[in-house]
């Protein structure tokens, strides 16, 4: 069931998401941890900044483990790194043990790291359909309809048997590691986090299932749980 939430401002969107994360963190059974796969991108960045400013105390961080749904193949101290973006905007401001933070090592050989991370995630998460199940997967949306680091030329990554794959940004050649559709669509909750007028056309194509939408990687995000949430600001929702 697609849940589409439209907000006046990024702060309102961020507050809504922070509330969902807080609810998740307080719903975890004794001794367990909720596993959240983070995304890069401008909207997740804004949400992380919001949480750092306004929501740190409402989230039970001891019950959370952080992973990433994709990473750029660069060292963790590079501006391009999704981990660095998260470190600078969120991790430095929250009381989360480093033992609960599992970054994708962008500085390693991509194929070997995709394999390592798949094994790590497989060993740490509960299984559903014989596949690790994240409690929450955060996704951004590119203007070309990419999500995580699954770009249109590599849409077949949605059908990979693997959990994470090495790929690349087809426009820049930058190597990436990305979650595949197998693990994204096995998550209990998936959030598309999209703001800005530049995404309005793509959001409309996807949600209104307009001509050719099925060739867009983001259209393949269809969690079996049916818990797919679109968190949009009014600009990104402008053509709905
Ligand atoms: C990344 C993200 C990517 C991002 C989209 C949208 O590594 O950058 O995984 O999927 O979410 O490119 O990014 P913007 O919101 O910055 O346009």
Query: Which residues are 127's β-sheet partners?
Result: 132
Q: Output the domain CATH number for residue 214.
A: 3.40.50.1360
CA distance 96 to 114: 24
Can you give the residue range of the structural domain that contains 199?
2-25+33-221
Residue 126 is predicted with a pLDDT of 97
pLDDT less than 70: residues of the chain: 1-2
Compute the distance between CA of residue 232 and CA of residue 223 in angstroms, rounded to an integer.
19
Best probe residue, ligand 1, of 13, 14, 40, 157 (max atoms within 8 Å of C-beta) = 40
Phi, psi for residue 58 in degrees, rounded to 5: -90, -10
Q: Return the closest-CA partner of residue 1 out of 202, 209, 190.
A: 190
In a domain, 228, yes or no: no
For residue 172, the CA-to-ligand 1 centroid distance in Å is: 14
Q: For the purposes of burial, counting CB atoms within 10 Å of the CB of 200, is it exposed (0-12), middle (13-18) or buried (19 or more)?
A: buried
Task: Order across the sheet with 70-72: list the strands.
Answer: 70-72, 175-179, 164-168
Cβ of 178 below 6 Å from ligand 1: no
Answer yes or no: is the C-beta of 217 below 6 A from any ligand 1 atom. Answer: no
Give domain status of residue 240, yes or no: no
CB atoms within 10 A of CB 125: 22
Tally of domains within the chain: 1
Q: What are phi and psi of 192, to 5 degrees?
A: -85, 125
CA proximity to 139, closest of 235, 30, 231 = 231
Task: Supply the pLDDT for residue 172.
Answer: 98
Whether 18 maps to a domain, the answer reads yes
* Residue 2: per-residue pLDDT: 64
What DSSP string describes 100-147? GB----TTS-HHHHHHHHHHHHHHHSPEETTEE--SEEEE---TTS-B
Mutation test residue for ligand 1: of 45, 103, 110, 142, the one with most atoms within 8 Å of CB = 142
> For position 3, what pLDDT does the model report?
94
Quick check: is 45 in a domain? yes
Residue 238: inside a domain, yes or no?
A: no
Cα dihedral 96/98/102/103 (nearest 10): 100
Look at residues 114, 103, 14 and name the one whose alpha carbon lies nearest to residue 66. Answer: 103
Q: Please work out whether the CB of residue 41 comes within 6 Å of at least one atom of ligand 1.
A: yes
CA-based nearest residue to 217, from 187, 181, 173: 181
The residue length of the chain stands at 240
Domain membership flag for residue 239: no
Query: In angstroms, what is the span from residue 198 Cα to ligand 1's centroid?
Result: 13
Residues sharing a CB contact under 8 Å with residue 174, sequence separation 6 or more, in sequence order:
72, 73, 74, 80, 168
Identify whether 71 is part of a domain. Answer: yes
> What is the rounded CA–CA span in Å between residue 164 and residue 180?
5
Cα 73 to averaged position of ligand 1 atoms, centre (Å)? 14
pTM to 2 decimal places: 0.97
pLDDT of residue 123: 98
**Contacting residues for 92 by C-beta, under 8 A, at least 6 apart:** none
For the Cβ of 132 lying below 6 angstroms from any atom of ligand 1, the answer is no
Mutate to test the pocket of ligand 1, among 68, 140, 194 (most ligand atoms within 8 A of CB): 140
Structural domain contains residue 236: no
31 CA to middle of ligand 1, Å?
33
Contact call for residues 133 and 36 (beta carbons, < 8 A) = no
CA of 168 to the centre of ligand 1 (A): 13
Closest atom of ligand 1 to 82 CA is: 7
């Amino acid at each position: 069931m697609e849940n589409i939430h439209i907000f006046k401002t990024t702060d309102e969107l961020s507050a809504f998401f922070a509330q969902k994360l807080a609810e998740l963190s307080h719903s975890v059974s004794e001794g367990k941890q909720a596993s959240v796969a983070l995304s890069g991108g401008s909207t997740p960045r804004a949400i992380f900044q919001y949480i750092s400013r306004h929501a740190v105390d409402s989230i039970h961080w001891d019950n959370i483990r952080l992973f990433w749904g994709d990473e750029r193949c660069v060292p963790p101290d590079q501006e391009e790194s999704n981990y660095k973006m998260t470190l600078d905007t969120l991790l430095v401001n929250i009381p989360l043990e480093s033992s609960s933070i599992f970054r994708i090592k962008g500085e390693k050989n991509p194929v070997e790291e995709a394999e390592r991370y798949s094994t790590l995630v497989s060993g740490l998460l509960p299984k559903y359909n014989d596949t690790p199940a994240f409690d929450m997967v955060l996704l951004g949306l590119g203007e070309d309809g990419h999500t995580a680091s699954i770009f249109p030329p590599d849409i077949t990554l949605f059908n990979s048997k693997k959990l994470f794959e090495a790929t690349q940004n087809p426009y820049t050649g930058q190597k990436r590691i990305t979650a595949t559709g197998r693990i994204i669509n096995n998550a209990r909750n998936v959030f598309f986090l999209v703001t800005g007028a530049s995404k309005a056309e793509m959001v409309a194509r996807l949600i209104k299932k307009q001509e050719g939408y099925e060739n867009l990687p983001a259209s393949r995000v269809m969690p079996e749980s049916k818990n797919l949430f679109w968190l949009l600001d009014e600009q990104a929702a402008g053509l709905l």
